[in-house]
Amino acid sequence: MKEIILCKYGEIALKGLNKSTFESMMIKTIRRRLASAGEFRITKSQSTLYVEPLGDAPDVDEFESRLSKIFGIVKLCRSGAVEKDIKAICEKAPEYLADVLEGARTFKVNARRSDKKFPLKSPEICAELGGAILEKFPHLEVDVHEPQVTVTVEVREDYAFIHSDPVDGAGGIPVGSSGHAMLLLSGGIDSPVAGYMMARRGAVVEAIHFEAPPYTSDRARMKVEKLAELMTAYCGDVKFFCVPFTEIQLKLKANCPEELFTILMRRLMMEIAQRICEKEDDIQALITGESLGQVASQTMYAMVCTDAACRMPVFRPCVGLDKAEIIEIARKIGTFETSILPYEDCCTVFTPKHPKTRPSLAEVEKAQAGFDFEPYIQKAVEGTTVRLIKHI
């Protein structure tokens, strides 16, 4: 029996005349992400993509794992495809789902008859298949309210698809459907989560990191590159920009009030990031991992002062989440363990003892105007290195 993975849409199904555009983007993403997993075929019908692994002994587990990380797919159903005949369904379903059914105590059958030409209606399919399963597995009991296993039969155009409970997909909408944005990627927990959340809403995510050697080490940079690499499982390839920031930080420390150091540093980071975005020509927004009130530089007053230095939108998808919620997402996407490795980033190295939590824009702008940072900004932009981190 051939196995086909049914990929169910979420909100893409509601896109009306734009639906085909979103479908095309998702199919392109699937082709890229599965290319190294083996041969496969993709077809689509009724707000479902059919991914059929091909060749000898395909690794269907690997196909399913990669598909579960592709935005736009809400549910995955690893299914056995049989001919549209009730005898074939009753014969093949218990065999295909034997491992699941042997370990359960209760089950129910759910039937969906998309092909209305099929001679049996849904309740009749459920009755026939339920009887066949009980005959093969007499230890089972039917529980229509809270079954341990739900056996589903989907009678569609070409086949009847048999599967048990679906696996959750990544949800969201396809990467590439909402433009490009630049993520300020530190070595912490929050920023990779922010990048993931914006990619889930269709943004192509690039990443910019500020390093401050010798105060930060090669290992600190490698840690951030590893975070970007882990993000590619969801975001796809990430263009990684690394900015030399030491000289600017030393000038800040020598020429600006210590209590405003962090907010001034973030304003200069934003300026550098924007100039690099403008050079790239197709990046429309910045992304940060800020959460309101989490630290001194993330108060509403500080954010107002930061945004005043920006010519493009700044997205903060974590702004309303608390730390526990951010950590939960970080664990889910596999970045948490790398984020907590003990290598300093440039923000933590130069943190003032008593940062101002309620800075006014006037005092921040006055402090920044007291020293000419322009030559150092230009030097940082020109010294930025770029590498493409490929999807793993």
Task: Report the Cα 344 to chain-centroid distance in Å.
Answer: 25
pLDDT (0 to 100) of residue 346: 60
Note whether 2-168 and 180-389 share their fold.
no
Spans of all domains in the chain? 2-168, 180-389
CB burial string 148-182: b at 16+ within 10 A, e below: bbbbbbbbbeebbbbbbebbebbebbbbbbbebbb
Topology (CATH level 3) of domain 2-168: VC0802-like (3.30.2130)
Q: CATH classification of 180-389 is 3.40.50.300, yes or no?
A: no
Please tell me the distance from the alpha carbon of residue 247 to that of residue 113, in angstroms, as a whole number: 67
pLDDT in tens, 33-58: 999 999 999 999 888 999 999 988 89
- How far from chain centre, in Å, is Cα 160? 32
Question: How far from 186 is each of 22, 242, 346, CA to CA, in Å?
Answer: 31, 11, 8
Give the orientation angle of helix 300-307 with respect to helix 261-280, to 10 degrees.
Answer: 40
The alpha helices in 97-245, defined as continuous H runs, are: 98-102, 122-136, 190-200, 218-235
Report residue 200 as tokens: 């889930």
H or E stretch covering 313: none
The predicted pLDDT at position 6 comes to 97
pTM above 0.85, yes or no: yes
239 C-beta neighbours (distance < 10 Å), count: 18
Q: What's the confidence (pLDDT) of residue 348?
A: 63
Give the chain's residues under pLDDT 50.
Answer: none
